Chains A and B, each alone.
With several copies, the nearest count.
Chain A
Amino acid sequence: MKAKAIKNIFVQGSISPELIADSIRKHAHNTGIGGHSIFLGQVRADEKPEGTVSAIDYTAYEDMALEQAHQIREEIFAKYPLTCMHIYHSIGLVPAGELSLFVFTSSVHRKVAIDACEELVERLKGELPVWGREIMGPNQYTWKENR
């Protein structure tokens, strides 16, 4: 038995709308797909006591994060009859208003794609060893906390 290769999920800096369009476009040849569900995480310019967030600087324990993402991917594929699944997460600096997470599921039927995407987003948020440092100014930052 050959183990599946571990895919990279990390993108340096923000995720561009072009990457998303390209990813969507690549699925046109797969004419068995009936529905795609996409989640995008965008960096908010939150007001904090230390100032307004201008960017988030993401760091990760990359080796572990890729192993975790691989494990989550396998479990979601086992649970839902998906045609495709794609995960992209930013590493490094992402300015407010730009995208840091892109999760994409496709299936014959819409409900499967939608349910799998939602579960995938929740699991990635909870289980990937990734940390966001919210930058307010040259020497001002706080460590982001997921709710």
Chain B
Amino acid sequence: MDGQQITILAFGKVAEKLGSEQLKASGFEDTDSLLRWLHDRYPALKEVDFSLAVDRKLVAGNTGLGMMCEVALLPPFSGG
């Protein structure tokens, strides 16, 4: 995945644990490998519950990542 550009967006409690609302990454074929890397780098992520969206769609289970993509880490919604 040469030249891949993944934008990682974090929100709410997850952004706090990460200490950042946006990260860049590359070289990940799928969400599972990206998550392993994130968990290694940010052990505090284990303390929070979150879902994943790829390109603004919720995904369940491992999902392939394209050359340009936006992966969001979403804690439980609490709007309204």
Contact = CB atoms under 8 A, between A and B. Distances in A.
Nearest to B56: A64
Contact size range, B: 10 to 19
Given A64-B56, A67-B56, A144 B78 contact: yes
Contact of B77 (A41, A101, A126, A133): A126
Contact of A130 (B56, B57, B77): B77
B6 interface: no
**A contact face: mostly helix, strand, loop, or mixed:** mixed
A131 B80 contact: no
B12 interface: yes
A131 B77 contact: yes
Contact size range, A: 20 to 34
A145 interface: yes
Interface in B50-80: 53, 56-57, 72, 74-80
A41 B78 CA distance: 12
Contacts of A127: 77
Nearest to B75: A131
A1 B11 CA distance: 35
B9 to A, nearest CB: 7
Given A131-B11, A131-B12, A133-B12, A64 B53 contact: yes
A61 B11 contact: yes
Given A59-B12, A64-B56, A131-B11, A143 B75 contact: yes
B30 to A, nearest CB: 20
A36 interface: no
B80 A143 contact: no
Interface string A88-100: 0100000000001
Minimum-distance CB pairs A-B, first 7: A130-B79, A131-B12, A64-B56, A144-B78, A125-B80, A132-B78, A41-B80
Interface of A: 41, 58-61, 63-65, 67, 89, 100-101, 110, 121, 124-133, 143-146
